[in-house]
Amino acid sequence: MNARSGALKWMRKTCVNTLTDALRLSPLFAPATRISISKKIAEDMTRFLAMVAADTAIDPKTLQLGNVTIAELVARIAQAYSIELPTLASGSALSLTP
């Protein structure tokens, strides 16, 4: 294995671990939880949430998150950080409420 392929493998593993950690921690946010973050971090978080929401391969049950949807997890994270929710391909925003 060369250095580049080793670095790519490490990056993929790190991204998967970060995603898993973020999704596993999101149910701990109470509905009233608000966490202040800078504009730059909010922009990065918005991109992250949009990518998570669009990724149909993510299975909450495989991550041992129970009977919850990715949309619910993304909405809970966005709500906690006061981030404008990503928009689905259908044009509707993700929401915690049905």
pLDDT at residue 87, rounded to an integer: 59
pLDDT at residue 5, rounded to an integer: 59
Q: In angstroms, rounded to a whole number, what is the distance separating the alpha carbons of residues 32 and 55?
A: 27
pLDDT at residue 63, rounded to an integer: 83
Q: What is the mean pLDDT, run by run of 10 residues, along the chain of 98 residues?
A: 58 67 86 92 88 86 87 91 70 48
pLDDT at residue 35, rounded to an integer: 92
CB count in 10 Å sphere of residue 49:
23
pLDDT at residue 64, rounded to an integer: 85
pLDDT at residue 47, rounded to an integer: 86
Of 87, 83, 29, nearest to 53 by C-alpha is 87
